[in-house]
Structure 1
Amino acid sequence: MRDKHLKPSRGPLLAAAALALLAPALAPAAERPLTLDTIFDSDAFANPLPKSLHWRRDGAAMTYIDTESGALLSRPANGDQATLLLAPDKLLDGDRVLTATDASWSPDLAFALIETNARVTWDGVREGTYYIYTRDSGTLRALADGNTVRYAELSPDGRRVAYVWDNNLYVAQVDGVSTVAVTSDGGEHIFNGIFDYGSSEFGQRKAWHWSPDGTQIAFWQLDASDVPTFPLIDELGDYSEVRRFHYPNTGERHANNRVGVYDIEQRSTRWLDTGHDTDDYLPRVDWGRGGRFLFVQHLTRDHKQLRLLRFDLVNGGREVPITDSDPAWIDITDDFTALAGTRGDFLWTSERSGYRHIYRYSGGRLSPLTGGDWSVDAIVGVAASERAVYFYAKKDSLIDQHVYRVPLGGGEVTRVTEQPGWHEWQLSPDGGHAVATHSTANRPRVVRVRNLADGASETLADNRIAGMRDYILPQTEFIQFETGDGVTLNGYFIKPVDFDPAKKYPVIGYAYGNAGSQIVVNRWGTQRGPNQDLWHRYMAQQGYVIFAMDNRTTTGRGKAAKNLTYGHYGKYAVLDELQGVEYLKTLPWVDKERIGFWGWSGGGYLAAALMTKGAPHFKAAVSVAPVIDLTRYQAVGVERWMGTPEENPEGYAAVNLMNVADRLQGKLLLMHGTGDENVKFAFTLQFADALIKANKQFDMVVYPNSRHTITDARRHVFSTMTRYFNDNL
């Protein structure tokens, strides 16, 4: 069991305390140094975990795809040997062998919905070609006549499949007898069963849900007719191609949305009277346990009030069991959890106390199940057999993710996981078992099936990765330091394996910085994947020290801490990063004249801000896909932190880095993909224009057609950053 963070002693300015090295140095059998080839062009560090894992409805077994073989398997929860459901060489469309990227089975394992050719479109939608596999006959049938469709899903009873095609929602029987169009008016401006881009900032693109018994579908319809469109231009063909999509800037109109309930047998839709203003949001819809109640969340445009609406679909009527409010904004979560019974009881999380905690709504009363000056991260699930709730929380550590348990009737909160690190659970429907994944910053993921009754576990996938044995890996070392005004912040170092405290080392800083975010975590891989983490270790191997930190508005510190960012995005991200520099300068082994920084997206903004409004503390920085001017960023993503430009013109002006371009000092590299659907490439062009007008020198690399994550050119991104820091730091 791990104690709370150690409290560092105070110094005249800042003080630090090492928390712990979370694992001993991994002594490799071979002294092979990391290379960029190894990181980006090999599978040396591939962690072949099971994919597409689904529990059976009774919780007795799970189905998944074995990543190494491609076989579709079923494994009992009690630890017995897995059985083969479908061999990869039997997954055939004519003579063509298919590769399953996802698979879900009917409760009786008679049918499977198999996804192949999965891809993410230029505007960020997942789509693929789907097949219905009939186990008795061993046959495959293409869904939707082999057309590429989006977000296909089996009904809970396994008898039907629903999917989205051309912005319309369809329902097909798995036996192929019939396919019914739920909607027919979808098109360029009308979205059925799928969110338009502007609404997807709440974290979802799929916009429909089966009822628990599979007899109904609740879905959103969005009308984006009045939403401005933003063009992305493909310049790589013989002629330029313009791709337009709806993208509401701050203060502009977003899509009008409503919720319908489609009855499978009656083939009819009824639209719910949510009573919301067309300028408001309906970010979540959830079914009650029995399908009688449907819950719709209504968030006001200013993000300050959230109402939970409960519709009785049998007897009619609408109630508002919960209303939450906040002086800044309310975060939308996926924590709503329906409870068994006929009254429509549920679990809810709220930050009304100042920290996110779990509440139970029952019999018209809302009762807290957890409380205190610590935050619940998310509800994992309910174990009906023991009438308990499992959840993640930052109760004992801000950098670890532990699983906790509290009785449904209230009582003592118990920590269930013991090892320091990052625990992720997938609870079985009956609450008897969990697929438990664990990793640390220095140890890759291990997947076990855990019996919640006795704590026993069986390994499903281990972390015996070749690269961990063959390559020298600098280790992550977590630290804390204290700001000048007494706030303790978390960070980590990655130092060269042969680190000598008597020498001077250049430092490369890294951060993200958005309110409620977190990058200093005791988990294998980082915010943008294991390749980035391995690159940090590679740069440490080249003689740099990597320093990452989270500012005072990041997760686990309570709502008041997050609200510090309201009205002036990035203020404490910049100020606390400068406090981090002051801390670095107190360390005798830091070369004070050679401190650099890099960041992506929100971190890209931070990198550019540190070289302008935060100058002259960094010698060189790399800003990837930076947000520059929030007046032209997504309405949902920004207004929760800033209000509208009309309400807060001074705040938006202070955030806009074009207004401080003349303050640039040091070497700055801007990197951006022209096909960025999230943070506009235009931001970087406009910032570059401001730098040119201020006669400031800078460097820039452009990735044609690349999206926000630049996944198609990661090797080039990190190779370029390596060269840039080598040349300028």
Structure 2
Amino acid sequence: MKFRSFGLALWLATAGPALVPALLTTTQAQQKQNLTLEDIWQKGTFSAKSVPGFNWMKDGRYYSSLDQGSLVQHDVTTGQAVQTLVAAADLKLPGQDKPLPVDGYNFNADEQQILFSTGTEAIYRRSSKSTFYIYNRQTRQLTPLSKAAGKQLYATFSPDGRRVAFVRDNNLFVTDLATMQETAITTDGAINKIINGGTDWVYEEEFSFAQGFQWSPDSRYVAYYTFDESQVPEYNMQEWGPLYPKDYRYKYPKAGEKNSIVSISAYDVAAGKSTKMDVGAETDQYIPRILWTQTPELLSIQRLNRLQNKLEILHANAKTGQSNVVLTDTDKAYVDITDDVRYLAGGKEFLFTSEKDGYRHLYLYNMSGKLVRQLTKGNWEITEINGFDEKKGLVYFTSTEASPLQRHLYRVDLKGKGKTRLGEAGGGNNTVNMSADTRYFLNYHSEAGQPQVVSLRNGQDGKLVKTLEDNARLRQKLGDYNLGKLEFINFKTAEGVELNASVLKPANFDASKKYPVLMYVYGGPGSQTVKDDAGGGIAFTNYLWHQLLAQNGYIVVSVDNRGTGARGSDFKKSTYANLGKLETDDQAAAARYLATLPYVDKSRIGIWGWSFGGYMTALALTKNADVFKMGISVAPVTNWRYYDTVYTERFLKTPQENPAGYDDNSPVQHADKLKGKLLLVHGTGDDNVHFQNAVAFTDAMIKANKDYQTLYYPNRNHGIYGGNTRLHLYRQMTDFVLKNL
């Protein structure tokens, strides 16, 4: 190969100038590389860089980050490092030669003391336990947070920086940093019975938080959750490896079963006692959020009924526990829980987002819950509140106003005037991390097929201060490969439903040829796979795998069906109480539309997906067996009766109230309709979508005398990763596609 290239170079050197441009173009095309599974899953060839350990410092002028074990301060206006706050060499324990391998940190209020975490172990999706140390910048001393045995969870400074609260063994503690005296706030914690200061499995997974306590702004109180999960049924997973497999039992409330009974208390630090808050007499309910207001001793508690169609905001007195309802938000289907409640300084007003006009928008209320005004309006949605400028009365938020496929930062004042877009011009998606004073924000910008660009921007006008990471090397590296361009289209189904889709064609696409199509689906409520972004983690690596398939002559298409997000409440909630029906109807309709295109081989259309997408794949291959030739179903729910209460009942009600919603679109009920080739994949250690789902579906297919292939991964969780796992999985998936589509 080298010899041939060398000979060509000599020939080009003597060739006429008219020949050189054409030959160079041909040569460059020939030099384009093809992707390999090892590139994607083993070598880290396409790993994007970010800004690790980024934290805004208190004045908004500086930020800090971890750099090779040291904590470094950077100037926001230049992005340059200005000083090392803590050198790695200072993080040594007595008698140790090497510094602590820190994996996280947090400052106290005056930034003179720092909590460092090390040895962090993941528990579930959002929970982890670590060994925490306090570092004093003045004395340069490193002290363990606790002398007691066992790692700690969620260690958090009080706002005044004098104490740290944390959880250990399902109990909540507070340490006085002046004396390092540790006080137990609770003592009744017990595994699989009582949890204090943390959340149970279903809250962590479905309400998206694991830390179950918060300091009051004046540091006088710690508000905390208590979960009594003693009546919640246990799920048992076997951990394979030893001579006799171990049982792992944990509380998992399946649809229609008992949930934890949840209470909220406020611990008075000075008095050393807790007071239970009044959250009502009903115990079969959810408390998805608590939040301290700007008024001393006033705690905001969100209360949600079990069917999740009525959300109430309560204001509770931390000293007495007395509460009253100030705001109620209802919906004919369900109310989504967000973090978009903001209490304004002065204790007179708060911000709240709601879908009550058909799209998620921003509202201003007084503290009695009376509407002051709606601040935003239109056929677009707010996806996040990013910051609030108290002095100027400006709210910063991310929205879909430009397109459902995009996300951009905007601001508006408290009169609903002066709405302005900030940050990156053009398309793409932006994720924003704003300083507390809103003077600056960190912007993560990405577009389809392009790695993210991380930049610092001015909060007043959105102008670029400095690009911190442009991933230029990765961008150049991707340019060396034979990649197709991702296109976005929309089309109408036979029912007249307009759907958005992305289409990835081979780089050498020839419209006169016929191509097989593999559809990639997720399709769950409020989700999106059709977005103008590079994706992160699994999303970007799936994009690269789809490119690998395109190199092998496949067109890869993704369609956002009814039920997905960013297009208003009616579109998203159209699937309510009948999960799976309209979604798979739309995927089948999309396949039929693709079959009409002159360059698509209609006899070779397949589908694949993971989790909800695995469910969609299994259902599509059975209920729409004549449309799809093959499918790969990874970690699917196959019967919603097997999934958790919060997620499933939000969209289907309980199985007691709506049995048909659970059974009519269960792949288990339609196994006898299977015609195409199916690869069913699951991890035996999946704490989220239990392996039980795969077992039930395979059993149904055996009873129906249907052929299928299975691939299971011992002890792997819902993400199916670790070591060579992903490489192995995607090799099997690639082979299955090549052989069967």
TM-score (norm: length of structure 2): 0.91
**CA distance in structure 2 between the partners assigned to 1:29 and 1:292 by the alignment:** 70
Q: Is 1:106 equivalent to 2:108 in the alignment? A: yes
Q: Is 1:462 equivalent to 2:470 in the alignment? A: yes
List alignment gaps of at least 5 residues for structure 2.
1-27
- After superposition, the C-alpha distances for 1:368-400 in whole angstroms (9 at most, x for unaligned) are 111122221121111223311111112120100
> How many pairs are equivalent?
700
**CA distance in structure 2 between the partners assigned to 1:276 and 1:408 by the alignment:** 37
CA-CA distance at 1:33 after TM superposition: 1.9
- After superposition, the C-alpha distances for 1:568-611 in whole angstroms (9 at most, x for unaligned) are 11112101101110121122111111111110010000010011
Pair 283,29 (structure 1): closer, same or farther in 2 beyond 3 Å: farther
Residue 516 of structure 1 aligns to a residue in which SS?
A: coil
Q: What one-letter code is carried by the residue in structure 2 that aligns with 1:433?
A: Y
Give the conservation status (yes or no) of the 8 Å contact 2:275–2:319: no
Residue 508 of structure 1 aligns to a residue in which SS?
A: strand
Give the conservation status (yes or no) of the 8 Å contact 1:276–1:298: no
**CA distance in structure 2 between the partners assigned to 1:589 and 1:156 by the alignment:** 62
**CA distance in structure 2 between the partners assigned to 1:95 and 1:160 by the alignment:** 30
* The one of 127, 130, 143 aligned to 2:129: 127
CA-CA distance at 1:349 after TM superposition: 0.6
Give the conservation status (yes or no) of the 8 Å contact 1:52–1:104: no
Pair 57,311 (structure 1): closer, same or farther in 2 beyond 3 Å: farther
Q: Is 1:371 equivalent to 2:371 in the alignment? A: no
Alignment partner, residue 12 of structure 1? none
**CA distance in structure 1 between the partners assigned to 2:117 and 2:31 by the alignment:** 40
Q: Is 1:596 equivalent to 2:606 in the alignment? A: yes
* The one of 246, 250, 259 aligned to 1:254: 259
**CA distance in structure 2 between the partners assigned to 1:143 and 1:655 by the alignment:** 51
Alignment partner, residue 438 of structure 1? 445
Q: What one-letter code is carried by the residue in structure 1 that aligns with 2:221?
A: Q
**CA distance in structure 1 between the partners assigned to 2:263 and 2:29 by the alignment:** 57
Q: What one-letter code is carried by the residue in structure 1 that aligns with 2:76?
A: A
Matches within 5 A, 1:334-483: 334-343=339-348, 345-362=349-366, 364=368, 365-366=370-371, 367-417=373-423, 418-456=425-463, 457-466=465-474, 467-483=477-493
**CA distance in structure 1 between the partners assigned to 2:115 and 2:125 by the alignment:** 25
Give the conservation status (yes or no) of the 8 Å contact 1:678–1:708: yes
Q: What one-letter code is carried by the residue in structure 2 that aligns with 1:435?
A: L
**CA distance in structure 2 between the partners assigned to 1:527 and 1:49 by the alignment:** 12
- After superposition, the C-alpha distances for 1:256-289 in whole angstroms (9 at most, x for unaligned) are 0000111222221111011151101111001113
**CA distance in structure 2 between the partners assigned to 1:75 and 1:107 by the alignment:** 18
CA-CA distance at 1:240 after TM superposition: 1.2
Give the conservation status (yes or no) of the 8 Å contact 2:681–2:712: yes
CA-CA distance at 1:656 after TM superposition: 1.8
Give the conservation status (yes or no) of the 8 Å contact 2:422–2:461: no
Matches within 5 A, 1:680-699: 680-699=690-709
CA-CA distance at 1:84 after TM superposition: 1.6
Q: What one-letter code is carried by the residue in structure 1 that aligns with 2:186?
A: T
Pair 358,616 (structure 1): closer, same or farther in 2 beyond 3 Å: same
Residue 572 of structure 1 aligns to a residue in which SS?
A: helix
* C-alpha RMSD of matched pairs (Å): 2.0
**CA distance in structure 1 between the partners assigned to 2:366 and 2:125 by the alignment:** 42
CA-CA distance at 1:474 after TM superposition: 2.8
CA-CA distance at 1:292 after TM superposition: 3.4
Alignment partner, residue 484 of structure 1? 494
Alignment partner, residue 3 of structure 1? none
Matches within 5 A, 1:35-54: 35-54=36-55
CA-CA distance at 1:527 after TM superposition: 7.6
CA-CA distance at 1:317 after TM superposition: 4.5
CA-CA distance at 1:174 after TM superposition: 3.8
CA-CA distance at 1:676 after TM superposition: 0.5
Pair 561,51 (structure 1): closer, same or farther in 2 beyond 3 Å: same
Residue 97 of structure 1 aligns to a residue in which SS?
A: coil
Alignment partner, residue 161 of structure 2? 158
Choose 648-657 or 687-696, whichever is displaced more: 648-657
CA-CA distance at 1:169 after TM superposition: 1.1
**CA distance in structure 2 between the partners assigned to 1:400 and 1:644 by the alignment:** 35
**CA distance in structure 1 between the partners assigned to 2:137 and 2:30 by the alignment:** 46
* The one of 138, 144, 149 aligned to 1:142: 144
Pair 665,316 (structure 1): closer, same or farther in 2 beyond 3 Å: closer
Q: What one-letter code is carried by the residue in structure 1 that aligns with 2:84?
A: L
Pair 140,473 (structure 1): closer, same or farther in 2 beyond 3 Å: farther
Alignment partner, residue 17 of structure 2? none
**CA distance in structure 2 between the partners assigned to 1:223 and 1:28 by the alignment:** 64
Alignment partner, residue 22 of structure 1? none
CA-CA distance at 1:612 after TM superposition: 0.3
CA-CA distance at 1:637 after TM superposition: 0.8
Q: What one-letter code is carried by the residue in structure 2 that aligns with 1:131?
A: Y
Choose 254-263 or 416-425, whichever is displaced more: 416-425
Residue 685 of structure 1 aligns to a residue in which SS?
A: helix
* The one of 303, 306, 309 aligned to 2:311: 306
Residue 655 of structure 1 aligns to a residue in which SS?
A: coil
**CA distance in structure 1 between the partners assigned to 2:399 and 2:227 by the alignment:** 35
Q: Is 1:240 equivalent to 2:245 in the alignment? A: yes
Q: What one-letter code is carried by the residue in structure 2 that aligns with 1:211?
A: S
- After superposition, the C-alpha distances for 1:703-724 in whole angstroms (9 at most, x for unaligned) are 0011011122222211111011
CA-CA distance at 1:687 after TM superposition: 0.6
Give the conservation status (yes or no) of the 8 Å contact 2:267–2:273: yes
- After superposition, the C-alpha distances for 1:508-530 in whole angstroms (9 at most, x for unaligned) are 11111112111111111258342
Matches within 5 A, 1:204-219: 204-219=209-224
Choose 433-442 or 46-55, whichever is displaced more: 46-55
**CA distance in structure 2 between the partners assigned to 1:580 and 1:439 by the alignment:** 27
* The one of 527, 541, 544 aligned to 2:554: 544
Matches within 5 A, 1:310-321: 310-313=315-318, 317-321=322-326
Q: What one-letter code is carried by the residue in structure 1 that aligns with 2:239?
A: D
CA-CA distance at 1:290 after TM superposition: 4.7
Larger Rg: 2
Give the conservation status (yes or no) of the 8 Å contact 2:275–2:321: no
Alignment partner, residue 71 of structure 1? 70
**CA distance in structure 1 between the partners assigned to 2:255 and 2:231 by the alignment:** 14
CA-CA distance at 1:48 after TM superposition: 2.5
Q: Percent identity?
A: 38
Choose 377-386 or 643-652, whichever is displaced more: 377-386
**CA distance in structure 2 between the partners assigned to 1:29 and 1:219 by the alignment:** 63
Q: What one-letter code is carried by the residue in structure 2 that aligns with 1:339?
A: L
- After superposition, the C-alpha distances for 1:156-179 in whole angstroms (9 at most, x for unaligned) are 233222211111111123456211
Give the conservation status (yes or no) of the 8 Å contact 2:162–2:176: yes
Q: What one-letter code is carried by the residue in structure 1 that aligns with 2:694?
A: T
Q: What one-letter code is carried by the residue in structure 2 that aligns with 1:172?
A: T
Pair 563,135 (structure 1): closer, same or farther in 2 beyond 3 Å: same
Alignment partner, residue 185 of structure 2? 182
Give the conservation status (yes or no) of the 8 Å contact 2:277–2:321: no
Q: What one-letter code is carried by the residue in structure 2 that aligns with 1:393?
A: S
Q: What one-letter code is carried by the residue in structure 1 that aligns with 2:443?
A: A
Alignment partner, residue 221 of structure 1? 226
**CA distance in structure 2 between the partners assigned to 1:259 and 1:316 by the alignment:** 9
Alignment partner, residue 15 of structure 1? none
Q: What one-letter code is carried by the residue in structure 1 that aligns with 2:575?
A: T
- After superposition, the C-alpha distances for 1:121-159 in whole angstroms (9 at most, x for unaligned) are 268632222222222233322232373222222222332
Choose 203-212 or 215-224, whichever is displaced more: 203-212
Choose 314-323 or 194-203, whichever is displaced more: 314-323
Choose 57-66 or 163-172, whichever is displaced more: 57-66
Alignment partner, residue 737 of structure 2? 725
Choose 299-308 or 361-370, whichever is displaced more: 361-370
Pair 530,70 (structure 1): closer, same or farther in 2 beyond 3 Å: farther
**CA distance in structure 1 between the partners assigned to 2:732 and 2:426 by the alignment:** 38
Alignment partner, residue 714 of structure 1? 726
Pair 237,371 (structure 1): closer, same or farther in 2 beyond 3 Å: same
